[in-house]
Amino acid sequence: MLLATDVDRVHDQVEAAIGGDHDLIRVHAGTAVLAAVAEHDPALVVLDLQIGNMGGMAACLDLRLEQRAERIPDQRIVMLLDRVADEWLAGQAEADAWLVKPIDPLALRRTVDEVLAGLSA
């Protein structure tokens, strides 16, 4: 799995919730997401909404555009949002699923399992 966040606390929470079941690769910048996807071909991409130089929404849209152009394989994407009002934006960015922070470890694990099983919208 690929996690894009520049916040150590978010990384630690995601690692604690899913790290035992999945290998986790971290990038600290939204601009690094596409290259990391091309290099590692992760089963799932987790994007933090607030990333310093390119936010999670822009990174999600970039991945969707690249997959439509068939330059990368289809991606499964979970977004970590700051507030409930961001859910509409996550849907517009075509994220497979999202959670509002603070991160609930059980909800994150369940969401990851559902997205990997293809059960998300």
Query: Which range marks the domain in which residue 12 is found?
Result: 2-102
Give the pLDDT score at 118: 86
**Model confidence over 46-66: pLDDT tens digits?**
999 999 788 999 999 999 999
**In the predicted structure, residue 20 carries a pLDDT above the cut 90:** no
- Would residue 115 count as lying in a domain? no
**Model confidence over 71-89: pLDDT tens digits?**
999 999 999 999 999 999 9
Q: Bridge-partner residues for 23, per DSSP? A: none
Residues 93-114: b if buried by 16+ CB within 10 A, e if exposed: bbbbbbbbbebeeeebeebbee
**Can you give the CATH number for the domain in which 27 is found?**
3.40.50.2300
Q: What is the tally of structural domains in the chain? A: 1
- Would residue 31 count as lying in a domain? yes
User: How far is 70 from 30, CA to CA, in rounded Å?
Assistant: 20
Count of CB atoms situated within 10 Å of the CB of 76: 19
- Would residue 119 count as lying in a domain? no
pTM score? 0.93
- Would residue 108 count as lying in a domain? no
